[in-house]
A = this chain, B = another copy of it.
């Protein structure tokens, strides 16, 4: 659990931050940025966007952003930190649905049921932009770019959901998982070859439908084969080309 805070200093409990004085900077990596820019920082729509967005956080590792069954009122864009979504069945078994990095959006799967169908749990200290969904829908009716953006985000997530579907070997899954993360970090301007895994081996395993021991073994083998460097949760991709080849059946293109 790395923290961006000095050791011992606990961050504030989660609550809206009316204005952190830094919209433009973090918005550059945000999934909504193009919608926000389309709405126009210099146009009247900006005022409306400001009304419907709230900055919330920080949440610390293990804290819930929302819980299964909570009424759906808003979607959340990750501003910083990492989140996992998960379902817990009635026998208490956890099922990890996805990991979300800065700039990505959680809560879209709650629109239809009108209640969150899963938990969202912070994996490290995390911050969010909270968008009231009724307000967002109303805005989308008036601003086609916002509507288009929502459609695209929903459709995009449909595509990623079907990635996990296939029956593939543990090697393929792990390689594809690492390359997927790398691509998503790259898309947000982070290094695609060196990054920190915010999630435990157990979470990775659960997400990939493997046992934690299997993930551990595969990572060890990849290290022995000089495909990656890994120490704890610090990862370096040493041979992205070969990794991509291993995971290709699960990766786009």
**Cβ distance A225 to chain B, nearest Cβ, rounded Å:** 22
Most buried by B among A109, A142, A209, A249: A109
- Provided the pairs A89-B249, A167-B209 are in contact, do residues A110 and B150 lie with their beta carbons within 8 angstroms? no
Q: Which of A111-167 contact B (CB under 8 A)?
A: 111-113, 117, 137-138, 140-142, 144, 147-148, 150-159, 161-162, 164-167
The count of residues in chain A whose C-beta lies closer than 8 Å to any C-beta of chain B is 41
* B155 with A112: CB separation less than 8 A: yes
> What CA separation (Å) do A165 and B94 show in the bound complex?
12
> What CA separation (Å) do A155 and B118 show in the bound complex?
13
Main secondary structure of the interface of A (DSSP, over half): helix
A108 close to chain B: CB less than 8 A: yes
Most buried by B among A89, A161, A166, A248: A161
A193 close to chain B: CB less than 8 A: no
A95 close to chain B: CB less than 8 A: yes
User: How many copies, total?
Assistant: 2
A97 close to chain B: CB less than 8 A: yes
* B108 with A155: CB separation less than 8 A: yes
Q: Mark A96-116, 1 if CB is under 8 A from B, else 0.
A: 010000000000111111000
Give the chain B neighbours of A110 by CB distance below 8 A.
155
Most buried by B among A138, A158, A162: A158
Contact of A156 among B97, B112, B153 (CB under 8 A): B112
Most buried by B among A111, A150, A153: A111
* B154 with A151: CB separation less than 8 A: yes
* B147 with A95: CB separation less than 8 A: no
Give the chain B neighbours of A209 by CB distance below 8 A.
165-167
> What CA separation (Å) do A205 and B243 show in the bound complex?
29
Q: Mark A165-195, 1 if CB is under 8 A from B, else 0.
A: 1110000000000000000000000000000
Give the chain B neighbours of A148 by CB distance below 8 A.
137
Please give me the residue from chain B that is nearest to A140 by CB atom: B147
Give the chain B neighbours of A157 by CB distance below 8 A.
158
> What CA separation (Å) do A108 and B150 show in the bound complex?
13
- Provided the pairs A144-B137, A147-B147, A154-B154 are in contact, do residues A112 and B159 lie with their beta carbons within 8 angstroms? yes
**Cβ distance A91 to chain B, nearest Cβ, rounded Å:** 8
Please give me the residue from chain B that is nearest to A117 by CB atom: B159
A-B residue pairs, 9 tightest by C-beta: A111-B155, A161-B161, A112-B155, A154-B154, A112-B156, A167-B209, A109-B158, A112-B152, A111-B151
